[in-house]
Amino acid sequence: MLSCPWFKDYLCKDDFKTSKGGACCFPELRVGVFEEIVPMGISPNKISYRTPGTHLSPGEFHKEVEKFLSQANPEQSDTILLDCRNFYESKIGRFQGCLAPDIRKFSYFPSYIDKNLELFREKRVLMYCTGGIRCERGSAYLKAKCARKCSSSRVASTSTWKSFLTVFTKGNCLFLMSVTPCPTTVTSMFIL
């Protein structure tokens, strides 16, 4: 992909993570063109990945998370730490103090936000997900509904996670902490 001119402005070698393993990890790998990689249940023309929160640097995001976690009573804070992933991903590992919605798939996210809109109104929302896809659209949706400010970052330190960093395959997960971890891992986080 790095040699393909279509991707030269979007990808670099750091966008690819390797692990020891073989074809057994992805025996049914398929490549295709889809309107959405992770369906949200709303047309991408209405809520676009092109209008997400503003990206923060990893350091800026971590300072925001540390500030949130250092508060005496985070429940009374004007900031919410929101995990945009599915419940089974959140159960394996998440940021301490985060709000982890009990949603089975991302198309339930808008409904969750709509039902809990007052919780998010006029709050700063720190959002994160596994690879950025859900945060891009999720932050755009939340911003359109009620957020007062939007920002985001792409890299999270492994030291901030409550449990293990994982890669999901069909019915399985690979625990990345079982091999020597690098100091950072690619993910996406947004602040609203």
User: Which two structure tokens, joined as six digits, stand for 181?
Assistant: 């971890």
Full DSSP string of 58-105: HHHHHHHHHHHHHSS-GGGSSEEEEE-S-HHHHHH--BTT-B----SS
Looking at 129, 135, 150, 182, which residue is catalytic? Answer: 129
Distance CA 10, CA 118 (A): 37
Let me know: does 110 contact 40? Beta carbons within 8 Å.
yes
Active site residue 129: yes
User: Which two structure tokens, joined as six digits, stand for 183?
Assistant: 């100091």
Distance CA 154, CA 57 (A): 7
The residues assigned a catalytic role are 129
